[in-house]
Structure 1
Amino acid sequence: MCGIVGLFLKNPKLEPELGAMLAQMLDVMCDRGPDSAGFAVYGSGTPGLVKLTLRGPAGTDFAKIGTAIGHPVMPRDTHAVLSVSASEEAGVRAALARIAPEVRVVGTGSRMELYKEVGLPADVARRFGLEGMSGTHAIGHTRMATESAVTTDGAHPFSTGPDQCLVHNGSLSNHAGVRRQLAREGVRVNTENDSEVAAAYLTYRIAQGDTLGEALTHSLDDLDGFYTFVVGTESGFGVLRDPIACKPAVMAETDDYVAFGSEYRALAGLPGISSARLFEPEPAKVYFWDRAA
């Protein structure tokens, strides 16, 4: 049992409140997943620059690392964000691997920042300052580990492509087989978590030319199990439930936002919720909201 939340803002006036709204939603989902939590926020970006979200052990001196590689780093607890030009990304990654092999790149993209840690979701949100973050959309996850250890590596979201991440509630029965298939195609999955397999599968399909909607549709044939996926991209977020749809899910839509929660109580504190259109996502139907639409 895990908790998923997602928020896509239609009204730009709400963008400074995005983090505070998502933090409240994550807090409500604490009892669905008290082991660890994480979130991805799509904030402002700078043309030509790529954001690398880094994660290191407690006490990592990110300022020293930034000095060593010649780029300033913005630390947030055990994570940090490093912005570089697209042409420099490969070289910076190589320098990081050499200078600070204990530091991992957990997310990359023009707008996405991704944070996750072990602990109560409300505490994780406070550690990273989620309440003060702004942006257009965000997704989050509270985890109750059932099939792998309680570790930061096992926490969601999982990001396997630029500005793309996934959170998942459920279990995939054929993830080992899909992992082997992806490995044969040169796609590496770093953790034992089946959710990372799902994220890597979608990234692979998109690399082959699928849109996100097409990749999610193909996953209905290729990924077995019971699941709800919420996927973030640079321009929006998507939702998919398996054909049985045994995992709880509810959505709310107003003129100002679209919100997703594993339970209605995650949405109950949102502004205007009393007049929102509430609905349960249908089984095996792809939903997507795009800020460019």
Structure 2
Amino acid sequence: MCGIVGLFLKDKALEPQLGSLLAGMLEVMTDRGPDSAGFAVYGGGNADHVKLTVRGAGLDRIVNQFGKAVTVTVRDTHAILSVPIDLEERVRGWLATERPDLVVIGTGQRIELYKEVGLPADVATRFGLAGMSGTHGIGHTRMATESAVTTDGAHPFSTGADQCLVHNGSLSNHRSLRRMLEPQGIHFATDNDSEVAAGYLSWKLREGATLAQALEASLDDLDGFFTFVVGTESGFAVVRDPISCKPAVMAETDQYVAFGSEYRALVGLPGIENARVFEPEPARVYAWERN
């Protein structure tokens, strides 16, 4: 049993509040997943730069390694490296050879991804989620029922640029999918079935599918029960398996679209009393993109 939240803003006036709204939603889902939590926020970006989210210890020691061209922002156990595109290969090479203990868990123009073991409210506070702004974000609270309680096992999982996924459920064919995807150049850092789902979508997107097409294909290729909430650079999508035994509720207004594993995750959102509240239908893809 896990908790999922997601918030996609249509109204630019709400963008400074994205982090605080998402933090409140995440905390409400604590009893669905008290052992670890994580979130991804899509904030500002630079077309000439890539953001690398790096996790590990001793992050202060990398601050001055690349000169003024690379900006390093340390948040607790994570750091965001804003790297000019022409220096990305050099920076990745340095990390691989000089700091192999550090893990790159997210990359893209706009995405910042954070996750840790601990209560959702504590994780949100450690990384300063309430102070973050952006256009959309997704989050996850985990109750580890099939694997150990570790930061590696926490969600979201990101296997492609500006792409991430959170999952509530269980996949029965993730091992066979992994064996199919690895020769295609999709690399995995954990044994978590949710990372395989993220990798599957990355593969489909790389092959030219739209996000909606990739999610529709997942309904045929992924066995098990699942609810996925997916973030990309420009949007936000939700899909449930054909049985849909996992709880899910959505709300839409002129200002936002929100997702929660339970309605109570949404009650603190502005104007929720006037929202169109609905349960997403089984085997149907819901997607929104920013203009």
1:97 to partner: Cα distance: 1.2
How far apart in 2 are the matches of 1:48 and 1:186? Answer: 25
The one-letter code of the counterpart of 1:64 is R
Match of 1:67 among 42, 64, 88: 64
How far apart in 1 are the matches of 2:185 and 2:25? Answer: 37
The one-letter code of the counterpart of 1:26 is L
Secondary structure at the aligned position of 2:20 is classed as helix
1:186 to partner: Cα distance: 2.6
TM (norm. structure 2) is 0.98
1:46 to partner: Cα distance: 1.4
1:126 to partner: Cα distance: 0.3
The one-letter code of the counterpart of 1:183 is E
Assess if the C-alpha contact under 8 Å between 1:165 and 1:233 holds in 2: yes
Assess if the C-alpha contact under 8 Å between 1:40 and 1:113 holds in 2: yes
Q: Runs in 1 of length 4+ with deviation above 6 angstroms?
A: none
The one-letter code of the counterpart of 1:97 is A
How does 1:137-216 map onto structure 2 within 5 Å? 137-216=136-215
1:230-287, Cα deviation, whole Å (9 max, x unpaired): 0000011000000001100000000110000000000011110011000000000001
How far apart in 2 are the matches of 1:185 and 1:108? Answer: 19
Secondary structure at the aligned position of 2:199 is classed as helix
Secondary structure at the aligned position of 1:82 is classed as strand
Assess if the C-alpha contact under 8 Å between 1:118 and 1:152 holds in 2: yes
Q: Does 1:35 align with 2:25?
A: no
How far apart in 1 are the matches of 2:240 and 2:251? Answer: 16
1:188 to partner: Cα distance: 1.5
How far apart in 2 are the matches of 1:185 and 1:258? Answer: 34
Assess if the C-alpha contact under 8 Å between 1:63 and 1:72 holds in 2: no
Query: Which residue in the other structure is 1:266 paired with?
Result: 265
Identity in percent: 70
How does 1:77-88 map onto structure 2 within 5 Å? 77-88=76-87
Question: Structure 2: any 5+ residue segments left out of the alignment?
Answer: none
How far apart in 1 are the matches of 2:15 and 2:34? Answer: 28
How far apart in 1 are the matches of 2:11 and 2:209? Answer: 29
Assess if the C-alpha contact under 8 Å between 2:250 and 2:258 holds in 1: yes
How far apart in 1 are the matches of 2:53 and 2:102? Answer: 10
Secondary structure at the aligned position of 1:67 is classed as coil
Q: Does 1:254 align with 2:253?
A: yes
1:52-107, Cα deviation, whole Å (9 max, x unpaired): 111003xx1x2321312333310000001001111211111011112211111110
Greater CA deviation, 184-193 or 271-280?
184-193
TM (norm. structure 1) is 0.97
Assess if the C-alpha contact under 8 Å between 2:117 and 2:150 holds in 1: yes
Q: Does 1:55 align with 2:55?
A: yes
The one-letter code of the counterpart of 2:125 is R
How far apart in 2 are the matches of 1:229 and 1:87? Answer: 34
Q: Does 1:290 align with 2:289?
A: yes
CA RMSD of aligned residues (A): 0.8
Assess if the C-alpha contact under 8 Å between 1:52 and 1:81 holds in 2: yes
Assess if the C-alpha contact under 8 Å between 1:236 and 1:291 holds in 2: yes
How far apart in 2 are the matches of 1:90 and 1:46? Answer: 17
How far apart in 2 are the matches of 1:95 and 1:240? Answer: 38
How far apart in 1 are the matches of 2:73 and 2:39? Answer: 17
- Residues matched between the structures, number: 289
Assess if the C-alpha contact under 8 Å between 1:55 and 1:104 holds in 2: yes
